[in-house]
Amino acid sequence: MPSKVIRTMRYDPDRQELLIVFRGDRGTYRYFDVPAEEWEAFLKAESKGNYLNRVFKLKEYPYEKTQEVVRFSGPILGDVRLEWGETAIVRKRVQRGETPERATKVRA
């Protein structure tokens, strides 16, 4: 079920890092020292937004805001998915216009 708060998430079990891409202009955040059990609980939560605000944030994992672009690849580790959310991250379109001398970028 889609979340009204979270667009997508990716978990790295080797580094115990959780990357969350929020909807709107809220940005992308990387949370550190997140155990695999926490990620599994996040996946099982009926409402990802409620879990985030009522359980996850109260545990005060260290975090940073990042500009990382998230590409959804669908990896799994055993029976555990390492990503959740929409498969496509909305990005601004770039149109290319051709001139005789060179190609130029034009932002839409």
- With respect to residue 1, please indicate whether it lies within any of the assigned structural domains: no
- With respect to residue 44, please indicate whether it lies within any of the assigned structural domains: yes
- With respect to residue 60, please indicate whether it lies within any of the assigned structural domains: yes
How many domains is the chain partitioned into structurally? Answer: 1
Mean pLDDT, range 74-78, rounded to an integer: 53
Report the pLDDT value the prediction gives residue 17, as an integer from 0 to 100. 93
Give me the residues paired with residue 28 across strands. 21, 66
- Domain range for 90 is 6-107
Report the pLDDT value the prediction gives residue 74, as an integer from 0 to 100. 57
Report the pLDDT value the prediction gives residue 94, as an integer from 0 to 100. 42
Contacts of 100 (CB under 8 A, 6+ apart): none
Q: What is the pLDDT of residues 35-69, one digit of tens each?
A: 999 999 998 999 998 999 999 999 999 999 988 66
Does residue 42 sit in helix, strand or coil?
A: helix
pTM here? 0.68
